[in-house]
A = this chain, B = another copy of it.
Amino acid sequence: MVEITEEPIDIGAVIASVRYSGGGAVVTFLGTVRDNDEAGEVIALEYEAYAEMAVAQMRGIRAEIETRWGIDHVAIVHRVGRREVGEVSVVIAVASPHRLQAFDACRFAIDRIKEIVPIWKKELYPHGSQWKQA
């Protein structure tokens, strides 16, 4: 499962999509909207994606994980649009036989998303807003 969506992410469905009988370890990362950042209080985020390319890049991350760890049970779903504090913006799930690889691959996935996937967020403050640059 690799998706960019405007709809709420069904966390259970993302996790279910990677589970298999040989995958004893399932590591999941949820990114949620925090109420603060370096710039201070945050009231919401606006996510914008170059959707087709973002999906292609996320598929590329899955391929990198398969090459590095031999893990082919990886799901990545990123939600876009205006997201309020506490809402889930991204869900990554990785299943593998052993937990260390699952942790490493899941951490790699979120790191890479922040490096190469064309998604941008604008932080909305009580007064003003700003596109986050890295």
Additional pairs, 5, CB under 8 Å, beyond known A26-B29, A100-B107: A22-B35, A23-B32, A24-B31, A24-B32, A27-B29
Residues of B within 8 Å of A49, CB to CB, are none
Complex CA–CA separation, A22 to B42 (angstroms) = 10
Residues of B within 8 Å of A19, CB to CB, are 32, 86
Contact flags A70-113 to B (C-beta < 8 A → 1, else 0): 00000000000000011000000000010110110011001000
State how many residues of chain A have any CB contact under 8 Å with chain B: 31
Residues of B within 8 Å of A20, CB to CB, are 86
A28 and B28 form a contact (CB under 8 A): yes
Interface of A toward B, CB cutoff 8 Å = 11-12, 15, 19-36, 85-86, 97, 99-100, 102-103, 106-107, 110
Residues of B within 8 Å of A27, CB to CB, are 27-30, 106
